[in-house]
Structure 1
Amino acid sequence: MPAASKTPDRRHLMGRGPYPGLFAQPLLVEEFFPVCAPALAQTLRTPAGLPLSAIGKGPGFLDSSMALQAAIDGRGVTLGRTALVADDLAAGRLVEPFALRLHYDLKSGFVCPRGHETRSPVRELLDWLSMEAAAVSAGGRRGEGAGGHHGTTRQ
């Protein structure tokens, strides 16, 4: 953020656009789909095999990371989102038990004032974000797109 301004010079957002006066680079198209532990997936044949009578009777979670951890632990099936489950899918902790995906029409993207995208620090950040998003889209783990620097802080 520029020192003389309270307005950030770059942002990550979810939206449809357009964004007048801003440079906008879509990064990731999200999808939602069922995920569960590999052992549980072996017992499920079709979505119809999920007992509807159990819906609402199990634990409820206010945080998606808790629901994903319960799925990893084999406690059930939950709805995964592309960016949130990429690492767990790549590592084999979660699998997609059915070929069902729901396309989310909002895109994850990067915006900044037009012209700022060519500035070195902004360009470096955008290049890194683009590599990370490409790795997630390709089913890889985050950090692989950035030369293996998973977990590092970029400034």
Structure 2
Amino acid sequence: MVVAGKQRDVSTTVRFGHGHSPGLSCRLLMKDWYYPVCSPEFITRHRLASPEQLLGLPLLRSNDELWQPWFSAAGVAIEEPQRGAVFDDSSLMLMATASGQGVALARHTLAVDDLASGRLLRPFALSVESPLSYFFVCRPADEQQAAVVALREWLFEKASSYCAPDGVLAPA
């Protein structure tokens, strides 16, 4: 960005987290939700009809999305499951899920395209609000810079069209 003949560095980012960014301006952009997903073939093969059935199946896991709050919302009292593959990359977890390797607890923002294509299905309608959200972050001194204002307004306009999934329960 050039201001009065001088180049000015302006930094912004979108962060997924709790919204704690000391020394920075941090505005909630949008929330997210999570729910189980699996391949259509997996649902058919295991005849999924109740959340309790998931306890005996391979649960694909991420360190950012814990199963226990979803199970609790579904009325299944268990500790956090420790079995099943753990993924650091949610995209890889969804690829493994689509190939029939198990049931994943997926964030809505990451799974929505696979659901729309039919590559993944939700065996149960229940969704739980994620304790983490997306935040627009910048330096306080840059908040009113034209480029930051334009980007922020565009992002918030796009985020406003994002819809919560069906079956949303209470925050986790």
The question of a shared fold, defined as TM-score above 0.5 by the shorter chain, is answered with yes
Taking the aligned partners of 1:63 and 1:107, their CA distance within structure 2 comes to: 18
Q: Give the match for residue 63 of structure 1.
A: 89
1:12 alignment partner AA: V
Taking the aligned partners of 1:25 and 1:54, their CA distance within structure 2 comes to: 37
How large is the Cα RMSD of the aligned pairs?
3.2
Taking the aligned partners of 1:53 and 1:77, their CA distance within structure 2 comes to: 8
**Percent identity over paired residues:** 33
CA contact (8 A) 1:67 1:78 kept: yes
Q: How many residues align?
A: 136
**Deviation (angstroms), 1:12:** 2.0
Is 2:109 the partner of 1:87? no
Match of 1:46 among 38, 46, 50: 50
Which runs of at least 4 in structure 1 moved beyond 4 Å after TM superposition? 1-5, 17-20, 53-60
**Deviation (angstroms), 1:93:** 1.7
**Deviation (angstroms), 1:51:** 5.0
1:36 alignment partner AA: C
Is 2:150 the partner of 1:124? yes
Taking the aligned partners of 2:100 and 2:149, their CA distance within structure 1 comes to: 42
Q: Structure 2 unaligned segments of length 5 or more: list them.
A: 60-81, 166-172
**Deviation (angstroms), 1:47:** 1.4
CA separation of 1:54 and 1:82: change in aligned 2, threshold 3 A: closer
TM alignment of 1:5-154, pairs within 5 A: 9-13=11-15, 14-17=17-20, 22-42=24-44, 43-52=47-56, 54=58, 59-114=85-140, 116-137=142-163
CA separation of 1:54 and 1:76: change in aligned 2, threshold 3 A: closer
Taking the aligned partners of 2:105 and 2:19, their CA distance within structure 1 comes to: 23
**Deviation (angstroms), 1:98:** 0.8
